[in-house]
Amino acid sequence: MEETIIEKIQELVKSRRIAQLRELLESINSADFPSLFEELDDEDMVVIFRLLPKDKASDVFVELDPDLQEKLINNFTDKELKVVVDDLFMDDTVDLIEEMPSSVVKRILKNIKPSDRKIINELLKFPEDSAGSIMTTEMVELKENMTVDKAFQIIKDTGIDKETIYICYVVDNSRKLIGTVAIKDLLISERDVLIKDILEDNVISVLTTEDQEAVAKMFDKYNFMAMPVVDKEDRLVGIVTIDDAIDVMQDENTEDFEKMAAMTPTEDTYFKTSVFKHAKNRIVWLLFLMLSSTFTGLLLEKFQAAISAVPLLVAFIPTIMDTGGNCGSQSSTLIIRGLALDEIKLSDLFKAVWKEIRVSFLIGAVLAIVTGLRIFLQYDGIHNDQSIKIAFVVGVTLMATAMIAEVMGCVLPMFAKKLKLDPAIMASPLITTVVDLCSMLVFFSIATAVMGL
């Protein structure tokens, strides 16, 4: 939102030029109000919200962060609260109830129609992250023996909205889902045609208990606008709309990013998460990884004699460890992402490993030659005949490290998936720790053998 518009609004509020303010507000998209409200003080926000037409008020309300929603509700009369809540979709009401403190929840429930209250209580019971928890119950339901004309009548009466109109759902008398009718098929059909003659009976639906990530993937695959949700008896209970599916996709991506960086994922944004919560989300994995790296330390302790004899060896530890970490990071990222998008299946394990072996052989060879040459040129003459030996040892270690790291980065996420764990935990941090141990073992074993330490 531009500075000038915000300033203009503040000015109009101050001078109470209501008509002008109302006109200006009309031209602002609902999705732009959160950034506007952030710039205003609470009082101005409430004034502006009250000026919005009823329809837009609930659209704006849905877009706001929970803390702003709470502030508004605390300023609402019961009547105002009822107007806003009545106009929300069921899934948005459920989200609101889940976010608000209990005193606010009580006020919300008090101002909801008893019939809606029953539906909301049902929706609140679905497990978190299930299709049932993100579905809404507003949809157009038709019967087989209706005419197209009757269907249009029902669409008008249902109080249609963009979220729910593009596909209508055909159910039988026991509410079993038997087909769908796209609005385009209604529009191109004659008015007296029966629904059963134009319905599509290959319906793809999901159970209320289906994982929301799986539902979002189906949207991506089938290019749906909405997905019907059924109970165990195949009865239609709701629909998941594409805007919610997109939110799930982005949340799951964020979760993967966080897990792959060794953090406990959180649903809040960066600034909404407190310092203490941030520390808590990060410390668990850090401690685990730090203590795991002790094993590499113990290994290095074993080679103290070699280090005392040729302390220069230590200078190559960062290069070897960093390269190992980076290689592991690359292949694990590709595999984890491929698994998440279903581009890689568990049965592809050997195909993937064989690919990584070839890739890492090429990469390892280049890294080994470049670093080997660099060492030879840098230390030739200074360390006498040692320089060629060190160049050889570091080169071979880099080659081995690259291969171990890329293969581990491929295998470990797939094993995690096989064990029904999230592959994202087998990302760079954990793999780096494992590869460090392997690469240091290789390095000092070869060094002591070749250099006779």
Binding positions for a second copy, 324-383, rule CB under 8 A: 325-327, 329-330, 332-338, 341, 343-344, 348, 351-352, 355, 358-359, 362-363, 366-367, 370-371, 374
Which tokens sit at 186? 């209604």
Per the CB < 8 A criterion, the answer to whether 314 and 339 are in contact is no
Residue with tokens 């070839």: 358
- Confirm or reject binding of residue 293 to a second copy (CB under 8 A): yes
Q: Which helix (H) or strand (E) holds 240?
A: strand 236-241
CA–CA separation, 440 vs 300, rounded Å?
7
Q: Which of 88/327 has CB closer to a second copy?
A: 327
Q: Which of 104/263 has CB closer to a second copy?
A: 263
CA–CA separation, 84 vs 166, rounded Å?
25
- Residue 98's CB is within 10 A of a number of other CB atoms, namely 13
User: Looking at 87, 285, 386, 453, which residue binds a second copy (CB under 8 A)?
Assistant: 285
Q: Which of 133/432 has CB closer to a second copy?
A: 432
Residue with tokens 């594409």: 242
Q: Applying CB under 8 A, what is the total number of residues that bind a second copy?
A: 112
User: Looking at 77, 102, 145, 269, which residue binds a second copy (CB under 8 A)?
Assistant: 269
Site string for a second copy, 384-403 (x = CB under 8 A): --------------x-----
Which tokens sit at 211? 């994982």
The greatest distance separating any two alpha carbons of the chain, rounded to the nearest whole angstrom, comes to 97
Which positions from 68 through 97 interact with a second copy, judged by CB under 8 A? none
| Beta carbon of residue 93, minimum distance to a second copy (angstroms, whole number) | 17
Q: Integer distance in angstroms from the first to the last C-alpha of the chain?
A: 68
Q: Which of 105/193 has CB closer to a second copy?
A: 193
Which tokens sit at 101? 């403190």
Which tokens sit at 4? 């000038």
Which positions from 116 through 155 interact with a second copy, judged by CB under 8 A? 152, 155
User: Looking at 317, 349, 353, 438, which residue binds a second copy (CB under 8 A)?
Assistant: 317
Which positions from 6 through 45 interact with a second copy, judged by CB under 8 A? 26-29, 31
| Beta carbon of residue 2, minimum distance to a second copy (angstroms, whole number) | 14
| Beta carbon of residue 158, minimum distance to a second copy (angstroms, whole number) | 10
Q: Which of 109/300 has CB closer to a second copy?
A: 300
Which tokens sit at 346? 């568990």
CA–CA separation, 172 vs 184, rounded Å?
22
User: Looking at 54, 110, 125, 184, which residue binds a second copy (CB under 8 A)?
Assistant: 184
CA–CA separation, 425 vs 396, rounded Å?
29
- Identify residue 56 by its one-letter amino acid code: K
CA–CA separation, 107 vs 113, rounded Å?
12
Q: Which of 207/225 has CB closer to a second copy?
A: 225
| Beta carbon of residue 90, minimum distance to a second copy (angstroms, whole number) | 16
CA–CA separation, 74 vs 61, rounded Å?
13
Q: Which of 5/109 has CB closer to a second copy?
A: 5
Residue with tokens 């087989």: 144
Q: Which of 176/277 has CB closer to a second copy?
A: 277
| Beta carbon of residue 289, minimum distance to a second copy (angstroms, whole number) | 6
Looking at 13-21, 70-78, 100-108, 424-432, which segment touches a second copy (CB under 8 A)? 424-432
Per the CB < 8 A criterion, the answer to whether 427 and 412 are in contact is no
Q: Which of 286/449 has CB closer to a second copy?
A: 286
Please give the backbone phi and psi of residue 269, each rounded to the nearest 5 degrees, phi first: -75, 170
User: Looking at 19, 192, 271, 350, which residue binds a second copy (CB under 8 A)?
Assistant: 271
Site string for a second copy, 216-235 (x = CB under 8 A): ---xxxxx-x----------
Please give the backbone phi and psi of residue 141, each rounded to the nearest 5 degrees, phi first: -110, 130
Please give the backbone phi and psi of residue 176, each rounded to the nearest 5 degrees, phi first: -70, 135
| Beta carbon of residue 406, minimum distance to a second copy (angstroms, whole number) | 8
CA–CA separation, 229 vs 59, rounded Å?
24
User: Looking at 170, 263, 412, 426, which residue binds a second copy (CB under 8 A)?
Assistant: 263
| Beta carbon of residue 269, minimum distance to a second copy (angstroms, whole number) | 4
CA–CA separation, 183 vs 288, rounded Å?
55
Residue with tokens 């889940």: 98
User: Looking at 307, 349, 388, 425, which residue binds a second copy (CB under 8 A)?
Assistant: 307
User: Looking at 4, 19, 192, 311, which residue binds a second copy (CB under 8 A)?
Assistant: 311
User: Looking at 298, 347, 385, 452, which residue binds a second copy (CB under 8 A)?
Assistant: 298
Exposure letters 275-289 (e unless 16+ CB within 10 A, then b): eeeeeebeeebeeee
